[in-house]
Amino acid sequence: MGDLSKNFSRSEFACKGTNCCGHSAPIQPELISALQALRDQVSLPLSITSGFRCNHHNESVGGAAQSFHTLGMAADVDCSDGLTAEDLARAAETIPAFQQGGIGIYPSWVHLDVRTTGKARWRND
Ligand SMILES: [Zn+2]
Ligand SMILES: [Zn+2]
């Protein structure tokens, strides 16, 4: 049982930087509900490798300057056994907030965001 939704806890989304924001996790509720809908659909645990990043940490990992991670609107989701990045991206396309938002496909994870500025799709493989 998570403290944000059925399967997600705030700690999973905390900034992973050291000596920056003290692992804060200001995450938008829209992101959590979309991820929970995705989790329910795939019926497999989703592991969050990057959630919120403060500006300092975002800079140190070379993130895009206006990254949606710094707004608490993005998560990188690792693919578990039996689920490829393609599978996960295809499932995300059926969740309205991701369908209208951003979906980036990487070799072993998917970036998902709930931007409201128009959909974005990219791949990096
Ligand atoms: Zn930080
Ligand atoms: Zn990302």
pLDDT of res. 80: 77
Name the phi and psi angles at 12, rounded to 5: -65, -20
Whether residue 83 contacts residue 44, with contact meaning beta carbons closer than 8 Å, is answered with yes
- The per-residue b/e assignment along 46-80, b for 16 or more CB within 10 angstroms, e otherwise, is bebebbbbbeebbeeeebeeebbbbbbbbbbbbbe
pTM, whole model, 2 decimals? 0.95
Closest ligand by atom to 24 CA = 1
Average pLDDT, the chain: 95
Amino acid letter at 123?
Answer: R
pLDDT in tens, 30-60: 999 999 999 999 999 999 999 999 999 999 9
Name the phi and psi angles at 106, rounded to 5: -120, 170
Closest ligand by atom to 69 CA = 2
Contacts from 102-106 at CB under 8 Å and sequence distance 24+? 102/68, 102/74, 106/76
Closest ligand by atom to 22 CA = 1
pLDDT in tens, 52-109: 999 999 999 998 888 999 999 999 999 877 899 999 999 999 999 999 999 999 999 9
Bridge partners (DSSP) of residue 122 are 104
**40 Cα–ligand 2 center, Å:** 21
